[in-house]
Structure 1
């Protein structure tokens, strides 16, 4: 198939494909038990020229029932932390252990050269796997953070046209109440970023709401409003019932009439709240138009980790209840090979596969495939992308797998990535490329 696609030129048909019906527009076809429709796609000069029922194409590249998905969008990552595990491990796999390890590594090793080498490596991985847009959170502790922001701006410009790179700040909420608050917001605005923070105080974990939380939250919203910035927050990343920031964020957005986009990540503690409180929180999130991004692999790794004891819960939020209330829900990679998550490769196919298993996004699959592409695209302000439709860019991922059980049972290492209708020859870089950066020998 790869050879046939390379030889097809700029105008050709993809024949006899399957795609999730919820990711296809302009096709009158009946979906099968997996929610897949059979179709032919016409590609012309880098775009999808036509979406037609299977059997319409007179010729072309025959996919023999294999699947075609729109390219994925990864709406929550940490490129500045990525791949430090070989030099700085998490001593016990806990959230607190991750915080301490990253703080130590940041102080000891985060030069612009170091961050750029690791972040570029990670983007190359994502690009080879098919991802077309990434939002990265950047540890924003002044003055050191200015170097990281300069680095990511350079990478954004370097990767323009191949991977759309967005940047959001991350630091504890109390940082915005001090003298650095306005300076952080200005840095974000000057860099074309998104204003972000984590809903805890410096040196603390996600437990009870910290003292002065509401006043600090209003100040944070005001900083975003004054600069016309969207907001992206790390929220309630624990199994503590006192971690109830999500509800207050939604109420604050409603009271202030906030006009920008808001995305909240993690929201783990929602799943252990009393049912009435959880329902009311979800209703307010839906009313405020807040998007939720779920990081199933990282949260399953970190949450409810106690030495010598089996975890009792999966560490993830109430995705089905949120989606049923009309909340936009995405899945994303989060951390990769750092103290917050020792694994990962910014492969959204892996993320969707594991999310399906961890979060039960199946039987039926419903509209959950949107969480891989269209939903994060909308949350990132890229509405209209992540859908297969006439006129869309032909950024696609092709699989030999015909059914969802085939797609989700293997890593799909034989996938073919099309960018603007052309086969992408990129491959994920070898780990050895980072040896000198992270101090690995041999």
Structure 2
């Protein structure tokens, strides 16, 4: 009987297919390039290897090839036959729902699946991070839901490098730094070439207020990470926001152009959408002049690849681009479409994204009162929009800038005083002058 790295039986008699599948799993779980090719070798060695087809579908989906992903998951369904083990049938069903764009149903199916097969890391990985099925669920308690999901799996994984990296991230996001640190250290010792763990480390340093440590780590780690790796762009974004806060705007823009927002960006389009506009907006909040050329390039990118709303995590970043573009009719049409989906119960984040989009438009028109009212109304629920705490700090920073622009200095002081402990500094121009020391 052939098994995977977690001891689960594999429905293939081909050692070649098994070896290629395990290689692909490790590459995907580490976010290194080559997983799609490895899974293709696995299915070529055994066309009936259903979960290898499903894994390939997921890699293609992450890489921005929805048609290829649908074809691969159809092959996974077709490979299921009478007598196929129940685990394989359940596994393929979960991936089918994910690729088919039904995240809520996929999460329900995944919870049932891991209750029976908790060591199915390829399936569990679908909900193990902030861009997974829990992260995009729109739940007002998704951060705690994420931690609870991983805590339920912890007894089954022991001291596993993949699991520890994700568990540490969830702990760190909720302020449990002392519990996260040893997990990160052990995972790094076991598998240093793990881009997701590098991502966890970047967030850990951010939440601990350690920008120098973050910069040192990221510069060193990125030097050896392939540029075509799925997280290369996003890790470059993390380094860029450290450089921005340190006043090294020239280096931050170099990272913008070459690391996470250039025309030749090698990673998924969604990652570029999340990183590029948020960086430019943060730069403006920090006092840098508007970069019209880079914003205009992003507007063209959004129009080509994200013409319709539907994923809250993406939509609130599109709203930044729409606000800067100043086309009120275009922005209103997109926001109204989101509101229609909210009314129809088809938008998991509720009214948060539409409200934020309208607030951004008001901010751009210098109607700071309306911007403040809108952002204050969603601030407590901003985690529903999707994203890490580092990413969602942009919402709080925008509110602070609006307070300052409106002359509401006491409100600015109140908000900064209530800010979570840990992250160092608030890169909002003018804030220093109104803070009480």
Normalization by structure 2: what TM-score?
A: 0.27
Q: Hey, which of these two has a bigger chunk of strand by percent?
A: 1
Normalization by structure 1: what TM-score?
A: 0.26
Q: Hey, which of these two has a bigger chunk of helix by percent?
A: 2
Higher RCO by CA contacts (8 Å cutoff, separation 6 or greater): 1
